[in-house]
Amino acid sequence: MSKIRLLYLVVPLFLLVSCQTSIPIAVQKDKLVKPASPVNTNLTLLSKAKDMRSQDRNQVGRHTITVLMIPGFRVMSGQEDLEEAIVNRTMETLASLGFKVKLVDKLEQSKEPVLVIQIDSLKNYLFSWLYPIGITWGKMELSLHLMSPDAGELWKANLAGGGGIMPSLFYMSGFTTRVKDDLTKNMNQLIEVVSSKEFTEHLQKAQADSNRDK
């Protein structure tokens, strides 16, 4: 058997055995932006994001095999469910900037409007044909929905999201760096939105309407 044929056999086998199958859901805290002016806003978040994707729950990416990019092992969120991890990182980010944030498990548990984070797209593919260098392509797109306790949508905003191609010197770190980078971009867009005059006006109006209905 030639060395080239042996390489084609050994490398895919190694990748299958050593594939990264779960990653933490994190943000790059040193790259988070700060609002132009101090914030003192009360926000209620739904404790789980709403996942609109058709792929498996908690899936953040897939390995691919050979130059044909045959789908391989799935990569899932680590110790946290993806829907909870997205909200937890959002709550931590906003709290660090001065927002007063509380969580509810259901809309009807709140007496005020609830901000719901929706996962519209989150997918990543790790290409193995340049091993040991990893090339990961992916994207993440979130949207924000301000909901009344009776499930009426009061306002929404689609975030621009993040995505692209990212090489990683250490092959198996590609998913971690790609998801962290994209989530950080989404968090910065979220900060900009919830710090805006438009959102504040919608939130205050919705809160005032809720107080009148009590």
Per the structure, the complete domain to which residue 155 belongs is given by: 39-213
pTM for this model (two decimals): 0.86
Output the domain CATH number for residue 86.
3.30.160
What whole-number distance in Å separates Cα of residue 170 and Cα of residue 189? Answer: 29
Q: Is residue 50 part of a domain?
A: yes
What whole-number distance in Å separates Cα of residue 36 and Cα of residue 109? Answer: 33
The predicted pLDDT at position 167 comes to 79
The predicted pLDDT at position 51 comes to 97
pLDDT band at 64 (very low <50, low <70, confident <90, very high): confident
User: Is the pLDDT reported for residue 110 higher than 90?
Assistant: yes
What whole-number distance in Å separates Cα of residue 164 and Cα of residue 84? Answer: 24
User: Is the pLDDT reported for residue 8 higher than 50?
Assistant: no
Q: Is residue 171 part of a domain?
A: yes
Q: Is residue 68 part of a domain?
A: yes
Q: Is residue 29 part of a domain?
A: no
Give the total number of structural domains in the chain: 1
pLDDT band at 57 (very low <50, low <70, confident <90, very high): confident
Q: Is residue 53 part of a domain?
A: yes
